[in-house]
Structure 1
Amino acid sequence: MTDVIVVGGGPTGLLLAAELKLAGVDPLVLEAADSTERRTRSLGLRSINTRSGQTLALRGLAEPLLAAQWAMFDRLSADSRPDRADLVALLVSAVRQGRTRGHFSGLPLLEDATGDPADYIMLRQHVLEEILADHATALGVRIQAGREVVDVTDDGTGVRAVLADGTTLSAAYLVGCDGGRSTVRKRSGIAFPGTPPTMTGRTAVAELADPDAVTSSLRSPGGLLDLSLVPGEIATIEFNGGPGERDTPMTAEEMQASICRVSGEEATVTRLEAGIRYSDNTRHAETYRHGRILLAGDAAHVHSPIGGQGLNLGLQDAVNLGWKLALVVRGHAPERLLDTYTAERHPVAARVLRNTRAQVALMRPGPQTDALREVISEVLTIPDAKRHFVAMANGLDINYAPESAHPLVGRFMPALGLDDPALLCEGRGVLLDLAGSSWTHSAADGYADRVRVVRARGGSSHDLAAVLVRPDGYVAWASSQDDPADRTGLAGALAGWFGSPAAVTTTA
């Protein structure tokens, strides 16, 4: 029996499997599509926002991600038409300077000062998947393509997955990372309430008879037209109530008609190689766990892709769930630890669904929306307001413990001025002793396989004596002084997040 079956080999499933393996359990990834089919769906660019970039850096992935980004930008610069070259150069310059933080409904979010280029990375999705697959397989994760799961059953002691070819596989737990139309979610009976689509987006690899016949516009009377930064790609958005049959292949005639409706100009599509449709269908699973079946990524939440937050939401689901599920599978922690997954991630997704709905509303054609966009543009010139929007779009406002007595608990690990940037690369928690307190080391006795104790010699601007950091980079406990009460708090945090300590063997 496999420890955990991960259904879906997209970015969320691949990262989750790597996190599970890193934490000491055996996952199996089952992906319905083959690599060729997945690549044909990899249209447009995907953004890895600041929080996801910081998280992936904890696993040593910043360097390959950046290398892939620069290689992509070099190709875009070389292949772009002259009338697009300046736009590509402007984007590349902003990214290289570390100023880009995405956009809100097309309104750019740029930092005033230069920063770290790793804080916002842009890639094609299939390239990201290749990097994550290499990372997972290097750890020993098994990934099987062309394996479609058509049914799942939880009998209380394990989960059975039935494949399209009739094969049945068993595991202790199963996680559905199989997209917005998730078979796992449907078969497990988890409700998926939300709002129906109001727009139709189309992106295609296509050629126009006259490339100069139309120009990109965010504010056309009929919607949006983007002659993409990616050479050969064209995108449209129409606010017409959503696409009809999404599974039928897109035709050149369909894309041509959409371009003409949006732009109000005549255009002829002479060739269409591949195309996808999407909408702002917005839905949210009522829970991310039903017994031994869990959901992550688009299987748990779908929304408009405007703003580029869906990929990051899924990556953050994966790193939140992976270590928790591994602790339960290994018998170190009780199943109730899994309840913290929904408790922590559900509100984060709800905020993303809210702001993506707002972004769609802000893109609708019309003079009222034009006026609202002008107002929001003025708001974004206010430093505090821009920081709010940047934090919202980049996951920097996540706080898993807003009621905590210590302001750092529930927040992502702050920069502590330490010498070792890879403290969490092993996938274990880290207990940082910043004041040379011997009691922190004794409190962690029995957790050596789950928590690494580090005597930190670097300084800290946060006036910390000690801090316990979870494997996903979030602070589980912190102390600003050597107080007896804090010793009890540390013991409780260790037990609450990492389970019961192992027996400690002493020698005479």
Structure 2
Amino acid sequence: MHDVVIVGAGPVGLFLACELGLAGCSVLVLDREPEPHSPFKAMPLGMRGLSAASVEAFYRRGMLHQLLTASGVHDDPGADPDAREPAPPRGVGHFAGMVLDPAQVDVAALPYRLPGPAREGMLTHLEAVETLLSEQASRLGVEIRYGVTVSALAQNEESAVARAGEREYAARWVVGCDGGRSAVRGLAGFEFVGTEPQFTGYTMQATVADGEKLGFGINLTPTGMYLRLPHGHIAVMDFDGGAFDRSQQPTRDHLQAVLRRVSGTDVTLSDVHLASSFTDRAMQTTAYRRGRVLLAGDAAHIHSPLGGQGLNTGIGDAMNLGWKLAATVHGHAPDGLLDTYTRERHPVGAGVLDWSRAQVAVMRPDPHGQAVQGVVRDLIGTRDGTTYAFARMSGSSIRYDLGSEHPLVGRSAPDFRLENGPRLGDLMRDGRGVALDFSTDGCLRGAATGWESRMRYAAGPARNDLGSGAVLVRPDGVVAWAGESAPDREAFERAAGHWFGPPAI
């Protein structure tokens, strides 16, 4: 019996598998597809944007360089490691088809950031991400099986069993990372609630006979939006109430009619090589755990791809869940630790759904939508408006309520760098938490004794400690506790016990 069976070998399932494998868990990943490669995962249709928070997750696990290389990014224009302030972002993205100006981002207003190797975001493609993660998972002893369709699920107080045909896969825990049409979600009886679609979207790789009739980039029109990129990549959003039957393959004639209507041109598609459809249906499970079954990524929440939040939210789920589930498997998790997964990540997912709904409302091709669009365009054209949007899309505005008023607690930890020493990101590669002690006498050294297997201790002055004397960082990179210039040893020990369980004897 495995410790964990993960259903779904997409980026979220594979990232979670890597987290669990890094912690020494026995992990099996099952995927219904017969093999991992698909033209929809490669460029151009597989192109995805990774937010700053997602790039940071790869950096903290020592995979950033490989990710950049696999994504065709041969230079790393991240912030200068010795810069006094973080560099401004090179790109921001868009809100409801309205492109944001990165020069308008007020870097100084973003909370608690320090320069470091992690970029503010990047473009990649699913094949690059999945190949990197599957190779890492294999190195960590994770087994991945393709062509396995889970058709039944049972659980008791001790274990859960996923059935595929006549084969049963038993584990102490099962995690559904099997996408928006999750089998695990339905079989385990999760409640899935939300709103119905306003539009049907299409993405295609096509040959355009008269390409001069279409603009490149994002084009917001009175009837919808279309996106045109190199290599024949076109996406279209048609406000038809989600009427297109997604069980059928869109034909060339249908795609051409939709593109003509949305673009307001008589453009001709001479050939369509690949095509698929999607909607802005926005749904979320009411909880992310039922007994010994958990959900992450699109299995737990679906929404439109506007703003590119789906993959990034899923990676955040995996980063948050991995260390908590591993601690539970190994028996040293404090009471209630696994329940904090839903408590912390469900509000994040709900916020992403609302961010998606807001964009759809702004894009609606009616007088009300157009009126709101004008107001929003003015707002995001300001420095404060662009900064707010960037903070939402980059993940830098996320802060978990961990019961502390200290402004660092609950946020993703800045990339602290010790004088003549390592960066925080480098200290996190083994998946343990980190206690950074900036005090001159290393006063927390003795207090950290007993948690060595779960927490790394590093001491010394920092190049910029942001006014803190010490910080305790969880394995997912979130600040769990922060002390003043003279850290309180007892407060540190309470925080360590709260998140990492009792110290080893």
Decide: shared fold, TM above 0.5.
Answer: yes
State the one-letter code of the partner of 2:51: N
Alignment-derived partner of residue 197 in structure 1: 197
Per mean C-alpha deviation after superposition, the further-off stretch among 433-442 and 418-427 is 433-442
Q: Deviations over 1:297-340 (max 9, x none)?
A: 00010111101011100000000000000000011114621000
Instruction: Give yes or no for the alignment of 1:477 onto 2:468.
Output: no
- Contact 2:334-2:502 within 8 A present in 1 as well: no
Task: Measure the CA separation in 2 of the matches of 1:457 and 1:127.
Answer: 38
Distance 1:399 1:117, change over 3 A: closer
Task: Measure the CA separation in 2 of the matches of 1:381 and 1:199.
Answer: 26
**Structure 1 segment 239-258 matched on structure 2, within 5 A:** 239-258=239-258
- Cα offset, 1:376, TM superposition: 2.1
- Cα offset, 1:270, TM superposition: 3.0
Alignment-derived partner of residue 260 in structure 1: 260
**Structure 1 segment 18-417 matched on structure 2, within 5 A:** 18-35=18-35, 38-40=38-40, 43-70=45-72, 98-112=89-103, 118-163=119-164, 165-215=165-215, 218-227=219-228, 229-334=229-334, 336-401=336-401, 403-417=403-417
Q: RMSD over aligned Cα, in angstroms?
A: 2.3
Per mean C-alpha deviation after superposition, the further-off stretch among 460-469 and 291-300 is 460-469
Distance 1:266 1:110, change over 3 A: closer
In the alignment, which of 460, 466, 470 is matched to residue 464 of structure 2? 460
Per mean C-alpha deviation after superposition, the further-off stretch among 60-69 and 195-204 is 60-69
- Contact 1:219-1:365 within 8 A present in 2 as well: no
Alignment-derived partner of residue 110 in structure 2: none
Distance 1:374 1:72, change over 3 A: farther
Task: Measure the CA separation in 2 of the matches of 1:136 and 1:290.
Answer: 26
- Cα offset, 1:125, TM superposition: 1.6
- Cα offset, 1:39, TM superposition: 3.5
Task: Measure the CA separation in 2 of the matches of 1:5 and 1:64.
Answer: 26
Distance 1:335 1:274, change over 3 A: farther
Per mean C-alpha deviation after superposition, the further-off stretch among 39-48 and 212-221 is 212-221
State the one-letter code of the partner of 2:99: P
Task: Measure the CA separation in 2 of the matches of 1:402 and 1:375.
Answer: 36
Unaligned runs of 5+ in 2: 76-86, 108-114
State the one-letter code of the partner of 1:435: S
State the one-letter code of the partner of 1:270: S
Per mean C-alpha deviation after superposition, the further-off stretch among 107-116 and 49-58 is 107-116
Secondary structure of the 1:219 match is strand
- Contact 1:4-1:171 within 8 A present in 2 as well: yes
State the one-letter code of the partner of 2:197: P
Distance 1:264 1:481, change over 3 A: closer
Secondary structure of the 1:205 match is strand
- Contact 2:97-2:220 within 8 A present in 1 as well: no
Alignment-derived partner of residue 80 in structure 2: none
How high is the TM-score relative to the length of structure 1?
0.88
Task: Measure the CA separation in 1 of the matches of 2:25 and 2:230.
Answer: 39
Distance 1:462 1:199, change over 3 A: same
Q: Deviations over 1:422-470 (max 9, x none)?
A: 0101100011111045552222222111111111333334222221111
Q: Deviations over 1:15-74 (max 9, x none)?
A: 00000111121111111113466433552521101111112211112212222344599x
Task: Measure the CA separation in 2 of the matches of 1:6 and 1:452.
Answer: 28
- Cα offset, 1:243, TM superposition: 4.3
Q: Deviations over 1:207-253 (max 9, x none)?
A: 233333444563333322222x2412222110111144323223222
Task: Measure the CA separation in 2 of the matches of 1:168 and 1:160.
Answer: 6
- Contact 2:14-2:137 within 8 A present in 1 as well: yes
Task: Measure the CA separation in 2 of the matches of 1:427 and 1:254.
Answer: 49
- Cα offset, 1:119, TM superposition: 1.3
Secondary structure of the 2:311 match is helix
Unaligned runs of 5+ in 1: 74-95, 504-508
Instruction: Give yes or no for the alignment of 1:499 onto 2:501.
Output: yes
State the one-letter code of the partner of 1:148: T
Task: Measure the CA separation in 1 of the matches of 2:415 and 2:73.
Answer: 29
- Contact 2:56-2:118 within 8 A present in 1 as well: no
- Cα offset, 1:269, TM superposition: 2.8
Task: Measure the CA separation in 2 of the matches of 1:111 and 1:222.
Answer: 27
Task: Measure the CA separation in 1 of the matches of 2:349 and 2:375.
Answer: 26
- Cα offset, 1:386, TM superposition: 2.2
Q: Deviations over 1:270-292 (max 9, x none)?
A: 32222111111001110001111
Q: Deviations over 1:405-424 (max 9, x none)?
A: 32211111123232313010
- Cα offset, 1:402, TM superposition: 6.2
Distance 1:465 1:117, change over 3 A: closer
- Cα offset, 1:12, TM superposition: 0.5
- Cα offset, 1:493, TM superposition: 1.4
Secondary structure of the 2:211 match is coil
Task: Measure the CA separation in 1 of the matches of 2:251 and 2:121.
Answer: 34
Per mean C-alpha deviation after superposition, the further-off stretch among 335-344 and 100-109 is 100-109
How high is the TM-score relative to the length of structure 2?
0.89
Secondary structure of the 1:283 match is strand
In the alignment, which of 416, 420, 438 is matched to residue 422 of structure 2? 420
- Contact 2:15-2:133 within 8 A present in 1 as well: yes
- Contact 1:250-1:274 within 8 A present in 2 as well: no
Task: Measure the CA separation in 2 of the matches of 1:280 and 1:348.
Answer: 18
Task: Measure the CA separation in 1 of the matches of 2:457 and 2:180.
Answer: 40
The structure whose residues are more often helix, as a share, is 1
- Contact 2:226-2:262 within 8 A present in 1 as well: yes
Secondary structure of the 2:340 match is helix
State the one-letter code of the partner of 1:482: A
Task: Measure the CA separation in 2 of the matches of 1:56 and 1:452.
Answer: 19
- Cα offset, 1:368, TM superposition: 4.2
